[in-house]
Structure 1
Amino acid sequence: MAATHAYEVTVEWTGNLGEGTRDHRAFSRAHEVLAGAKPPIAASADPAFRGDEERWNPEELLLSALAQCHMLWYLHLCSVRGVVVTAYEDHATATMTMDAAGGGGAFTEAVLRPEVTVADESTAETARALHAEVPGLCFIARSVNFPVRHEPVVRTGAA
């Protein structure tokens, strides 16, 4: 039997400005994402959709989930293949395209740009190659219906 894992979050709208959702300009898109005893994530809509630019939006959270999942699987693969990673930073981007009618949209691509530093020059090629193995393992990447590209950079030396 396959193992299953369940996840639970609470999304709590905090944007009632006194009139509820009387019209689309009468309320804030502010909300919090909660999970157990973890600190809340202050969230909103993208500023393009009347959201607060100082809060996380769902689109950023989806992209960050892709980047985090890639990093975690990549670090695992490196650890079991003898590649010592001393630093990792990803500058990920994603593109969302709105429907012609303007009522909805969808992600059309994400690009992960991990910059990895490895301790030993002799493992640099393995470090580069391991990025190609991650998409088959990353739970998030396997769950999305748009391409997730990778443009890794591998350096050697101390972090």
Structure 2
Amino acid sequence: MIGEHHYALRSEWTGNRGTGTSGYRDYDRSVTLSVAGKPDVAASSDKPFRGDPSKWNPEDLLLASLSECHLLSYLHACVTAGVVVVSYEDDATGTMVEDGRGGGAFREVVLRPRVVVAESSMVDAATAAHRQAREWCFIANSVNFPVRHEPQITVAAS
């Protein structure tokens, strides 16, 4: 399906402690993220930036987007290659570097999917499907830093 897709989200700052942004330490970094028809997400900045560590932050959400996009693209690639995936887990990591001027950027993300396939004859195609998934992943194709993959493929016990 070729086409243009549009997405809408509402971000609402909920951290006014009564004096707004009167000072750097005077407001909470709490945000509610909303998409119509879906549960709200309680978000904040990361703890080093005066955020609430119990809430999702933008860096977590970026890493989650990359991991999930690869997972979904990979499952599609496996179906088209005749690979039966019975389990998929990813322990993704990302490295962000501050620039010393108040900003920064991600240096890289590493996805470490652990995939279990139904039969040993599927291992090579399951490995190749990661390359196809990388080409198909909308999110990975939208970022300006490397997204590396370190997959492990095993075969389900009989």
- TM-score, structure 1 as length reference: 0.96
Report the equivalent of 1:148: 147
Amino acid at match of 1:115: R
Residue 81 of structure 1 and its aligned partner are, at CA, apart by: 1.0
**For 1:1-159, what aligned pairs fall within 5 Å after superposition?**
3-101=3-101, 103-157=102-156
Secondary structure at the residue paired with 1:8? coil
Distance 1:45 1:111 in 2: 22
Distance 2:79 2:133 in 1: 13
- TM-score, structure 2 as length reference: 0.96
Secondary structure at the residue paired with 1:124? helix
The runs of at least 4 consecutive aligned structure 1 residues that moved more than 2 Å come to none
| RMSD, matched Cα | 1.2
Residue identity (%): 52
Residue 75 of structure 1 and its aligned partner are, at CA, apart by: 0.2
CA displacement 1:97-126 (0-9 Å, x = unmatched):
11033x100001000000000011110111
Structure 2 segments unaligned to the other structure (5+ residues): none
Residue 135 of structure 1 and its aligned partner are, at CA, apart by: 1.8
Distance 2:97 2:133 in 1: 26
